[in-house]
Amino acid sequence: MKKFINDVENVENEMLEGIVLAHPEYVSRVEGFDVLVRADKKVGKVALVSGGGSGHEPSHGGFVGKGMLDGAVAGSVFTSPTPDQVFEAIKAVDAGEGVLLVIKNYTGDIMNFEMAAELAEAEGIKVANVVTNDDVAVEDSLYTTGRRGVAGTVFVHKIAGAKAEAGASLEEVKAVAQKVIANVRTMGVALKPCTVPAAGKPGFELSEDEMELGIGIHGEPGTERKPIQTADEIVDYLMERILKDMDPKAGDEVAVMINGAGATPPMELYILNRRVSQILADIGVKVFKTFVGDYMTSIDMAGASITLLKLDAELKDLLLAQADTIGFKMY
């Protein structure tokens, strides 16, 4: 393992210290906790809290700020934050209008956030939650925990955050978050595995000519391993599965996110986007807005995911609403 690390036990903490030192105008840290909150707490609105294991930067602290999240909880690398940490975030951001928890569909995240919600409700704080599950690589059936929440979660942060910023009620913010969840689909691919600092070695092995399709955001193995193909062929494979599941019609409008897994350069992400745009044009689906970059990373994994969000008038308005955070800006 070759990384910029002082102490594997202190990676998350030192990262949070570095974030606050770099961006004091955006975030401050709840003292004694791994919780980042808006530097300027906005009162009189529903607050949004998200979080998860560390290693997905800029998720989730990078999306704390105007028009997106009010608080983000950072767990250990790839490990859900604990209930006491989430509870602290809820208390810190609650402004009396209620708190929406945006949870990615992972067993640990759900348990820890649910326990935190129970603690908050016991203190009289109104809490609701939504669970994102945009990953089409995972079969959603009785026999799985259900689809994973991956990069599409960022669209939930953006759109539900905009709704909350506009003064909507907790029920309204939750409803629009669920609308995003119902319309967003993602699938990812890895070319090289990532290394959790505390583990010290890659989470799985891929030879020089292999790729892992359907990869999750925690380095967990995907659903299929194949010899590496051209960028266009890889996009064709991923888009086929996304489109099959989403089934957009000619004339539909979508937002596109080409998300880097952490160690893939923008050059390659743009090559992927080129093919995504071609495919959508071929089927008459209009690209309303495209985002290319690292939004939901997996430490140092080389890979990418493609996310499509089907839009209606409300989602388009909210997507373009002003947002100002470390990792996502809309003017």
- Measure the CA–CA gap between 236 and 246, rounded to whole angstroms: 15
Q: How far apart are CA 128 and CA 125, in angstroms?
A: 10
Task: Say whether residue 204 binds another protein (CB under 8 A).
Answer: yes
Kindly state the tokens that stand for 8: 């594997």
In whole angstroms, how close is the CB of 140 to another protein at the nearest point?
Answer: 11
Strand partners, 258: 292, 306
Q: Which residues contact 52 (CB under 8 A, 6 or more apart)?
A: 59, 60, 73, 75, 80, 81, 104, 106, 109
Q: Does 196 bind another protein (CB under 8 A)?
A: yes
Shortest distance, position 250 Cβ to another protein, whole Å: 33
Residue 288 interacts with another protein (CB under 8 A)?
Answer: no
For strands 329-330 and 323-325, give the pairing.
antiparallel
CA 270 – CA 180 distance, rounded (Å):
24
**Hey, which residues between 127 and 146 contact another protein (CB under 8 A)?**
137-139, 142-145
Tokens of residue 238, six digits: 């991923």
- Cβ-proximal residues to 206 (8 Å cutoff; 6+ apart), any chain: 190, 191, 192, 193, 212, 225
How many binding residues for another protein (CB under 8 A)?
37
DSSP-derived secondary structure for 246-269:
H-PPTT-EEEEEEEE-BSS-HHHH
At 217, which amino acid appears?
I
Is there binding between residue 13 and another protein (CB under 8 A)? no
Active site residue 218: yes
- Active-site residue flag, 157: no
**Contact string (CB under 8 A) for another protein, positions 90-109, x = contact:** ----------------xxx-
Q: Tell me how crowded residue 197 is: count the other CB atoms within 10 A of its CB.
A: 20
Pick the binder of another protein from 13, 20, 41, 82 (CB under 8 A): 82
Question: Of the candidates 16, 64, 77, 261, which one interacts with another protein according to CB under 8 A?
Answer: 77
What is the 3-state composition of the chain as percent helix, strand, coil, each rounded to the nearest 5?
A: 35, 25, 40
Considering only residues 143 to 182 of the shown chain, the ones binding another protein according to CB under 8 A are 143-145, 148
Candidate residues 218, 262, 264, 304; the one interacting with another protein per rule CB under 8 A: 218
Q: Give the nearest distance from C-beta 220 to another protein in angstroms.
A: 5
State yes or no: residue 83 binds another protein (CB under 8 A): yes
CA distance 71 to 137: 29
Restricting to residues 29-58, name those near another protein by CB under 8 A: 53
Is residue 23 part of the contact set for another protein (CB under 8 A)?
A: no
83 vs 161 by CB, closer to another protein: 83
Among 20, 39, 198, 263, binds another protein (CB under 8 A): 198
Residues engaged in binding another protein (CB under 8 A): 53, 75-85, 106-108, 111-112, 115, 137-139, 142-145, 148, 196, 198-199, 203-204, 216, 218-221, 223
Q: Which residues are catalytic?
A: 56, 218
